[in-house]
Amino acid sequence: MNDKPFESAFAKLPELVDEWRKKLDTDFAALVQIPSQLPFKYALSGQVIAPNSTTISDSPQPPAEKLRLACAQFCSGGKRILTYPDILSTSMCRYQYPRNGESDSERTGSIWDRFGIKYMEEASYIVYACGLDPNVATVVDMDCRNARLECLFCRFTHNYTWREALWHASGSFHRTSQPRSSWKLVGYKAVDKTQVAELSEAREASPDSSRCLLCRPRVGDENKHEQILSHLTNDHGIEKADIKRRMHYLPLMARERNFMY
């Protein structure tokens, strides 16, 4: 047997993959439901803070744009918080309720029913609490904002980054009991002290995984730090002495691996 019987099938493969990806984009974008009571602008001490990279539009957002919003966060089994498409790395290969002898065509229903994936509703409130509009603010906007939040529901005081606040809000105790708007924006003086402490902590910490910045981002592409260095040397031809952090690779701390960068 030669490869001729498969030529027509492989010729259609790119088109089929593109259609499949668009269907997934649409399905996941439909999960991102931003509460209508959150206004388009949020005033803080008389100053309106607006996102840097986006503008407000009355027209419906294309799925790809909606999935780039900072509030487009998904959780799988309550264990990990990831953006799309990284969320598929933990859920795509296992069904929520598998049945023996059931074919792929018989596995229908919602994304949660099939893959155990839910939209994290708390994300919109966290973006809003930081002073940005969840309808347009992207991950880059939130990182540039670099705000700190205090959970008003907890008895102890801790200043959370927006990513840490997402993780904190995903806890089972908070998800069942916490009002989603119970976040307080920390003042600038307290933020300065917090950032100094965080920088000191970051200098002492060592990354346990990294992502190559020269390769096209894909699901599950994090590797051990030493493996990334070998990859840059062997696959990209960069001398080890010339490899630069955040130019050739991005180190991911343990708590950061739950988020897409």
Q: Indicate whether 118 and 181 sit together in one domain.
A: yes
Q: 166 and 236 share a domain?
A: no
For 257, the 3-state DSSP assignment is: helix
Long-range contact list for 19-24, CB < 8 A, 24+ apart? 22/63, 24/84, 24/85, 24/88
Same domain, 108 and 237: no
The domain total for the chain is 2
What pLDDT band is residue 177 in, cutting at 50, 70 and 90? low
What is the signed CA dihedral for 100, 103, 109, 112, rounded to 10 degrees? 60
pLDDT value, residue 160: 86
pLDDT tens per residue across span 206-254: 456 777 888 765 555 567 778 888 889 998 999 989 998 778 887 765 4
Instruction: Kindly state the average pLDDT of the residues 199-203.
Output: 46
CA–CA dist 102, 100 (Å, integer):
6
- Tens of pLDDT, residues 65-79: 999 999 999 987 656
Looking at 203, 224, 240, the residue that finishes a domain is: 203
Q: Are both 184 and 84 inside the same structural domain?
A: yes
Q: What is the domain extent for residue 45? A: 4-203
pTM passes above 0.75? no
Residues 194 and 239 in one domain: no
* 167 and 253 belong to one structural domain: no
Same domain, 143 and 20: yes
Assign 51 to helix, strand or coil. coil
Q: Which of 184, 203, 222 is the last residue of a domain?
A: 203
Residues 176 and 213 in one domain: no
- Phi, psi (rounded to 5 degrees) for 43: -95, 130
Residues 185 and 220 in one domain: no
Tokens of 210: 């990294």
